[in-house]
A and B are shown apart, each in its own frame.
Chain A
């Protein structure tokens, strides 16, 4: 029997995180630490050259509601290689060994994602679109026969908006990210 896996978005305090299934839907990155922010707390628009505004961190992790017959390992994460968010908008991510709650000023700005600010990060954040099917990010972790629950490293994402004279107000187009793993 094949495993049944979801992508969960983690929010809230590390002592009692809220885990929300974001599989089969669109999840929004905003300047708040809630699972479904909608359009209430958008990333602010930088108003002068050199300004950067950031989202709160978004943390996701795989979760099995039904374990594999054998084993899951060789977990990868990647995107399609093409940033379609628009001018000035970037998305970085890094694997993490532990969950840390996103911080910042709600509705205004998120704390920059870095190994200094996020104690669980396993490496410096990188452009998400640099990881492709041919060059994916490797995530450590595995799941053995019959086990269920969270597995694999976390992926922590942050969207940034740099000043650009052609920035557009509004929602960015949606982008898709992809997990891949080997299962027996």
Chain B
């Protein structure tokens, strides 16, 4: 099943990158100010990246033995406060339903997300 959702990244110089043409790993985090999730042409989530917050994004794929696939888009930010990484994430499904959650998720943070 192809994803109905896609992302766009907004830089501080006005450049907008489309996730259908750009790899997440290629984003220039020094310029990134917004990260948007779109369902078709409708923006359903905007992540504002300010005050040292680093973008976190994953396509969470739920794949059953019967061949069905469901995708949850996990998007939010991480910030190191003291010795701890504080996460704020939302979970958006392909229908635009959004759940906000705290730091319970055990996703694997990458070096660039940790600011390393």
Which residues does A use to contact B, with CB under 8 Å?
A: 2, 5, 7, 22-27, 69-71, 73-74, 138, 145, 176-184
Query: Closest approach, in angstroms, between the C-beta of B85 and any C-beta of chain A?
Result: 15
Q: With A2-B59, A145-B23 in contact, is A178–B108 under 8 Å at CB?
A: no
Question: Once the chains are docked, how many angstroms separate the CA of A181 from the CA of B106?
Answer: 11
A27 touches B61 (CB 8 A): no
Question: Once the chains are docked, how many angstroms separate the CA of A23 from the CA of B65?
Answer: 6
Residue in contact with B57 in the complex, picked from A7, A26, A184, CB distance below 8 Å = A184
Query: Closest approach, in angstroms, between the C-beta of B98 and any C-beta of chain A?
Result: 18
Question: Once the chains are docked, how many angstroms separate the CA of A180 from the CA of B60?
Answer: 7
Question: Once the chains are docked, how many angstroms separate the CA of A12 from the CA of B24?
Answer: 39
Q: Which residue of B lies closest to A184 (CB)?
A: B24
A24 touches B66 (CB 8 A): yes
| Per-residue contact bits, chain B 1-26, to A (CB 8 Å; 1 contact, 0 not) | 01100000000000000000001110
B65 touches A178 (CB 8 A): yes
Q: Which 10 A-B pairs have the closest CB atoms?
A: A24-B67, A182-B58, A184-B24, A183-B59, A69-B23, A70-B25, A23-B67, A179-B63, A177-B65, A180-B62
* CB pairs A–B below 8 angstroms (21 shown): A2-B2, A2-B61, A23-B65, A23-B67, A24-B67, A25-B67, A70-B23, A71-B25, A74-B106, A178-B62, A178-B65, A179-B64, A180-B61, A181-B63, A182-B58, A182-B74, A182-B107, A182-B108, A183-B60, A183-B61, A184-B58
| Per-residue contact bits, chain B 102-116, to A (CB 8 Å; 1 contact, 0 not) | 000011101000000
Question: Given the complex, which residues of B lie within 8 Å of A25, measured CB to CB?
Answer: 66-67
Q: With A69-B23, A73-B108 in contact, is A181–B65 under 8 Å at CB?
A: no
Residue in contact with B108 in the complex, picked from A5, A74, A180, CB distance below 8 Å = A74
Q: With A2-B3, A2-B59, A74-B106 in contact, is A184–B65 under 8 Å at CB?
A: no
Question: Given the complex, which residues of B lie within 8 Å of A5, measured CB to CB?
Answer: 61, 63
Chain B interface size range: 20 to 34
B107 touches A74 (CB 8 A): yes
Query: Closest approach, in angstroms, between the C-beta of A62 and any C-beta of chain B?
Result: 8
Residue in contact with A184 in the complex, picked from B2, B25, B66, B67, CB distance below 8 Å = B25
Instruction: Give 20 new A-B contacts, CB below 8 A, not counting A182-B59, A182-B60.
Output: A23-B65, A23-B67, A24-B66, A27-B65, A69-B23, A69-B24, A71-B25, A71-B110, A145-B23, A176-B64, A176-B65, A178-B64, A178-B65, A180-B60, A181-B60, A181-B61, A182-B108, A183-B59, A184-B24, A184-B57
| Per-residue contact bits, chain B 22-64, to A (CB 8 Å; 1 contact, 0 not) | 0111000000000000000000000000000000011111111
Question: Once the chains are docked, how many angstroms separate the CA of A69 from the CA of B58?
Answer: 12
